[in-house]
Amino acid sequence: MDTIVKKNKRTRIADLLKSDKTNYTVTVKGWVRTFRANRFIALTDGSTSTTLQVVVDFEKMDAELLKRVTTGAAIGVTGEVVESQGAGQKIELVATDLEIYGDSDPSKYPLQPKKHSLEFLREIAHLRFRTTTFNAVFRIRHALAFAIHKFFNDRGFVYMHTPIITGSDAEGAGEMFHVTNLDLNKIPKTEEGKIDYKKDFFEKETNLTVSGQLEAELGAMGFGEVYTFGPTFRAENSNTSRHLAEFWMIEPEIAFADLDDDMDLAEDMLKYVIKYAMEHCEEEIKFLDARLTKEDSQKPKDQRSPMSLIEKLKFSVENDFERITYTEAIDILRNSKPNKKKKFSYIIEDWGADLQSEHERFLVEKHFKKPVILTDYPKDIKAFYMRMNDDNKTVRAMDILFPGIGEIVGGSQREERLDVLEKRMEEMDIPKDEMFWYLDTRRFGTCPHAGFGLGFERLIMFVTGMTNIRDVIPFPRTPGNAEF
């Protein structure tokens, strides 16, 4: 046992590069990025996006062994840390001993030491963790997840695990994946010819959750402040760069709170987690910033982004989000150039229209040029649980819109008045009997409360500057694709 531990002792490249110290012996283990001139190995172990330069003296090493040092091979190197002769790094490792753990046939290995397109890398998502870009993206994903827990924990929120299998459709949109263990070739039927769910595993119809909100509301009525952070599933057939069938959502729910409290919480949280990533993933963000700047420089001038990634992140944490009502937004959009010149695919004519992402992006990117919170939407385009305003036309809803992303957060003050809620459910055909548990919160000790849902992948898109949501989750699930 002891010997195994000793044998595996290795120094992480991230730790090694932190120090300028030289003239000592270390062992590093990692994967070969490139091997140049039979002399210089660029080695990565995933602990940092920077590679370590390993120098080998081919005259002192077994030639057969060196032939096996190819891109992608896993190796271990023991050697002396010395001051680097080359530019771009302070130290390098002069190898005295080299061991191959796993060969990688260069004629078959799909990741070559050159720039691959993101589309190609998506097809080999099982290998893309080994690239610098995805190393940065998924390290930032990790940091953001950690920051979210830290933000809520520091404020006394209780992290609540809401069920993944549920009988309810929280959003009432009917875009659900069914959960069953019935034999699909022999579906049992009732006398009326309907599916007999009594014979199914749960003895009722069930689906994968689209949101943990309704259960989070139950938690908030006991703890005061809770949040969820888990996977959610939507069978919406929208093949866009911003939709996934399986995505992660953060849903805080706060008691004795109105929509203003809710918006303050959401704005504080977003600024906190973006700042956290900027402080803890400086190297990764710098790398992605440079990558985007390079990509941008190849575009026509009028399509280039007015701000770099780092400028955009700074801007969003340093400025207040613009807060306006849906009605004000409709006025702005109706009078906007692209609406008048019929440049929008959906022309805004009447109050009540649902906003498309082109409208959201106009408001954020062209009109206000900063994050925007839209409030008080028409009741007909929002969910049943949102609190009715006195005008009986709008509900106390809010969406936060971000540049380059569109909607990143959706939330509302909840309808806490039993009679108003029941009326709304009847109007919208939501089965009241089955939702007795939800209505019980309004029957016993109801109180004003509010919450929101943050799409985790949309947040990661914003912080990394990645433009396709498939590139910020390790294994994306989209219509027609559930590979890996």
- How far apart CA 205 and CA 194 sit, in angstroms, is 12
Query: What residue 251 binds from ligand 4AD, Mg ion, none (CB within 5 to 8 A, per partner kind)?
Result: ligand 4AD
Give the total of residues touching ligand 4AD (CB under 6 A): 23
- Taking residue 468's Cβ as centre, other Cβ atoms within 10 Å add up to 14
Interaction with ligand 4AD in 185-244: which residues (CB under 6 A)?
A: 211, 213, 234, 236, 243-244
Q: Which residue in the set 219, 455, 465, 476 belongs to the binding site for ligand 4AD (CB under 6 A)? A: 455
Q: Does 410 bind Mg ion (CB under 5 A)?
A: yes
DSSP character string of 366-389: III-S-EEEEEEEGGGS-TTBPBP
- Between 138 and 248, whose beta carbon lies closer to ligand 4AD? 248
Q: Does 371 bind ligand 4AD (CB under 6 A)?
A: no
Query: What residue 148 binds from Mg ion, ligand 4AD, none (CB within 5 to 8 A, per partner kind)?
Result: none
Q: Are 53 and 40 in contact (CB under 8 A)?
A: yes
Nearest distance from residue 75's CB to ligand 4AD, in Å? 39
Element (H, E) at 101: strand 91-102
- Taking residue 125's Cβ as centre, other Cβ atoms within 10 Å add up to 17
- Between 79 and 406, whose beta carbon lies closer to ligand 4AD? 406
Nearest distance from residue 16's CB to ligand 4AD, in Å? 38
- Between 45 and 217, whose beta carbon lies closer to ligand 4AD? 217
- Taking residue 282's Cβ as centre, other Cβ atoms within 10 Å add up to 11
- Between 411 and 465, whose beta carbon lies closer to Mg ion? 411
Q: Which residue in the set 45, 251, 365, 415 belongs to the binding site for ligand 4AD (CB under 6 A)? A: 251
Residue nearest to ligand 4AD (CB): 455
- How many residues are given for the chain? 484
Coil, helix or strand for 178?
A: strand
Nearest distance from residue 248's CB to ligand 4AD, in Å? 8
Alpha-helical runs (H) found in 13-131: 13-18, 63-67, 118-123
Q: Are 321 and 297 in contact (CB under 8 A)?
A: no
Query: What residue 449 binds from ligand 4AD, Mg ion, none (CB within 5 to 8 A, per partner kind)?
Result: none
- Taking residue 220's Cβ as centre, other Cβ atoms within 10 Å add up to 28
Give the total of residues touching Mg ion (CB under 5 A): 1
DSSP character string of 203-247: SS-EEE-S-SHHHHHHHHHHHSEEEEEEEEE------STT--SEE
State the binding string over 405-434 for ligand 4AD (x if CB under 6 A, else -): --xxxxxx----------------------
Token pair, residue 6, equals 């000793």
- Between 113 and 172, whose beta carbon lies closer to Mg ion? 172
- Between 152 and 247, whose beta carbon lies closer to ligand 4AD? 247
Query: What residue 472 binds from Mg ion, ligand 4AD, none (CB within 5 to 8 A, per partner kind)?
Result: none
Part in contact with ligand 4AD (CB under 6 A); list of ranges 92-100, 131-139, 200-208, 455-463: 455-463
Q: Does 361 bind ligand 4AD (CB under 6 A)?
A: no
Q: Which residue in the set 137, 170, 259, 398 belongs to the binding site for ligand 4AD (CB under 6 A)? A: 170
Part in contact with Mg ion (CB under 5 A); list of ranges 103-111, 130-138, 180-188, 410-418: 410-418
Q: Does 476 bind ligand 4AD (CB under 6 A)?
A: no
Query: What residue 211 binds from Mg ion, ligand 4AD, none (CB within 5 to 8 A, per partner kind)?
Result: ligand 4AD
Q: How many CA atoms lie within 13 A of 456 on its CB side?
A: 27
Q: Which residue in the set 247, 326, 402, 462 belongs to the binding site for ligand 4AD (CB under 6 A)? A: 247
Contacts 24+ apart (CB under 8 A), 170-175: 170/209, 170/210, 170/211, 170/212, 170/213, 170/214, 170/383, 171/210, 171/211, 171/383, 172/383, 172/384, 172/428, 172/430, 173/210, 173/234, 173/236, 175/210, 175/234, 175/235, 175/236
Place of tokens 């019935």: 182
- Between 79 and 212, whose beta carbon lies closer to ligand 4AD? 212
- Between 72 and 411, whose beta carbon lies closer to ligand 4AD? 411
Query: What residue 175 binds from Mg ion, ligand 4AD, none (CB within 5 to 8 A, per partner kind)?
Result: none
Part in contact with ligand 4AD (CB under 6 A); list of ranges 117-125, 418-426, 435-443, 453-461: 453-461
- How far apart CA 246 and CA 474 sit, in angstroms, is 11
Of 81, 68, 66, 69, nearest to 28 by C-alpha is 81
Contacts 24+ apart (CB under 8 A), 36-45: 38/66, 41/69, 41/75, 41/77, 41/95, 43/13, 43/75, 43/77, 44/13, 44/130, 44/132, 44/135, 45/10, 45/12, 45/13
Of 138, 69, 59, 71, nearest to 100 by C-alpha is 69
Residues that bind ligand 4AD (CB under 6 A): 170-171, 211, 213, 234, 236, 243-244, 247, 249, 251, 407-412, 451-453, 455, 457-458
Q: Which residues sit at the interface with Mg ion, rule CB under 5 A? A: 410
